[in-house]
């Protein structure tokens, strides 16, 4: 069975992203079928570089804040430098961009576990807590936008859709976070069903999974100090504010200025589209979602596409470039990160 998997594994990993990419391109062409290509090229060529540098800075700032937030959650397991966590986050995104269907939290957790001498399962739990917290805050921002934001009206009731998606997100991530901490207590009892199942899994995995239950239990933590608890929550809120400014700077580069709540609407709408696209394995969710949202806001197609292009290209270049640089500085080859991801999967 292993040889067959070796021959067909890469093929399977690339088929769905290729089909999804084709679908994404078709969707973008349909969305911008009236695009004036010359005006689009002119918008790109005459864009103000200063604002693009600000955009690049805020893309990195958002992930630096994520690294600091992760530090607050990870602190009681082991204090780790925010810059090291920032580098691991970039490396995770970089590997995920280069290798389709990759899951960046696995890569970043594996890197930190390797560099800091920690168990992967424990670090992965802290990464999950960080993501669940992020999901809850994102849902609350979506609720704020749906309640007080000036959302364009189209068929299908965009406001209702945003509110419903935000509510579902809030329920889902709150439930996952509660389930994680409620499930921590049984892990300390050998006779609990959860403990027996994890111990059985560890026995099947051999020596590399020794102590798996303890590693998972140690990783399900919340900062003991109040200031770190508050810091983690505020960092998640600040990340959303910074993320919402990405289209502000991209728009200023091509002469587009929107109302303050429009940028929050863009972030929320594009975020939901990205999550949905990842769920159905279709690349380009962010571009399609933000393109549709910019159309709703009345932004001309040429400037809208330029704004999306600047966001996408700068994100990819920064994540891949700096992420691979961090891997190299850490003495890790990208193939090792890929193999580690496959091992966890």
> Alpha carbon 54 to chain centroid distance?
21
CA 269, 270, 276, 279 torsion-angle sign: negative
Determine, yes or no, domain membership for 262.
Answer: yes
- Residues 89, 109: Cα–Cα separation, whole Å: 9
Res 62: pLDDT = 96
pLDDT reported for residue 342:
53
Range of the domain at 137: 20-183+220-344
Q: Is the dihedral of CA 172, 65, 95, 126 positive or negative?
A: negative
Does some domain include residue 43? Answer: yes
CA atoms of 34 and 31, how far apart (whole Å): 8
In a domain, 12, yes or no: no
Q: How does pLDDT run along the chain (345 residues), one tens digit per residue?
A: 344 444 445 544 555 556 655 666 677 777 777 888 899 899 999 999 999 999 999 999 999 999 999 999 999 999 999 999 999 999 888 887 776 555 778 889 999 999 999 999 999 999 999 999 999 999 999 888 888 766 666 544 677 777 888 888 889 999 999 999 988 888 888 888 888 888 888 887 777 777 888 889 999 999 999 999 999 999 999 999 999 999 999 999 999 999 888 999 999 988 888 777 666 666 667 788 888 889 888 899 899 999 998 998 899 889 888 988 888 887 776 566 555 555 544
Let me know: does 124 contact 345? Beta carbons within 8 Å. no
Distance CA 122, CA 110 (A): 10
Does the residue 231 lie in any domain?
Answer: yes
- pLDDT on residue 1: 39
Residue 196 lies in a domain: no
Domain count, the chain: 1
The per-residue pLDDT for 7 is: 46
Q: What are the residue ranges of helices labelled H in the chain?
A: 2-31, 37-45, 49-74, 82-98, 104-116, 120-148, 158-182, 193-205, 212-219, 226-244, 246-253, 260-279, 285-296, 301-329, 334-344
Structural Rg of the chain based on CA atoms: 21
Domain contains 294:
yes
| Count of residues making up the chain | 345
Q: Residue 51 domain-assigned? A: yes
Count other C-beta atoms under 10 Å from residue 297's C-beta: 20
Q: Domain for residue 73, yes or no?
A: yes
């Amino acid at each position: 069975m292993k040889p067959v998997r070796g021959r067909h594994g890469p093929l399977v990993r690339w088929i769905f992203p290729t089909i999804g990419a084709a679908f994404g391109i078709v969707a973008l062409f349909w969305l911008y079928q009236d695009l004036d290509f010359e005006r689009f090229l002119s918008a790109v060529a005459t864009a103000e570089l200063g604002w693009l540098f600000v955009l690049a800075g805020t893309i990195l700032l958002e992930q630096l804040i994520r690294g600091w937030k992760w530090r607050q959650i990870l602190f009681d397991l082991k204090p780790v430098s925010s810059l090291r966590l920032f580098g691991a986050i970039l490396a995770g995104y970089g590997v995920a961009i280069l290798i389709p269907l990759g899951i960046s939290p696995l890569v970043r957790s594996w890197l930190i576990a390797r560099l800091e001498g920690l168990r992967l399962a424990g670090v992965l739990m802290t990464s999950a807590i960080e993501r669940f917290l992020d999901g809850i805050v994102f849902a609350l921002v979506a609720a704020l936008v749906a309640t007080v934001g000036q959302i364009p009206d189209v068929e299908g009731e965009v406001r209702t859709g945003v509110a419903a998606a935000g509510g579902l997100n809030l329920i889902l991530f709150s439930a996952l976070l509660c389930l994680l901490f409620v499930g921590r207590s049984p892990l300390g009892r050998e006779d609990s069903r959860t403990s027996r199942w994890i111990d059985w899994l560890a026995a099947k995995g051999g020596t590399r999974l020794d102590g798996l239950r303890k590693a998972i239990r140690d990783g399900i933590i919340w900062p003991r100090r109040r200031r770190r608890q508050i810091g983690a929550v505020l960092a998640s809120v600040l990340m959303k504010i910074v993320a919402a400014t990405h289209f502000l700077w991209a728009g200023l580069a091509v002469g587009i200025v929107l109302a303050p709540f429009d940028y929050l609407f863009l972030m929320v709408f594009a975020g939901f589209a990205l999550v949905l696209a990842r769920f159905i394995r279709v690349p380009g969710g962010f571009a399609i979602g933000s393109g549709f949202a910019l159309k709703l806001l009345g932004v001309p197609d040429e400037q809208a596409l330029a704004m999306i292009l600047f966001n996408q290209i700068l994100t990819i270049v920064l994540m891949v470039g700096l992420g691979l640089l961090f891997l190299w500085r850490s003495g890790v080859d990208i193939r090792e990160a890929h193999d580690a991801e496959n091992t966890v999967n």
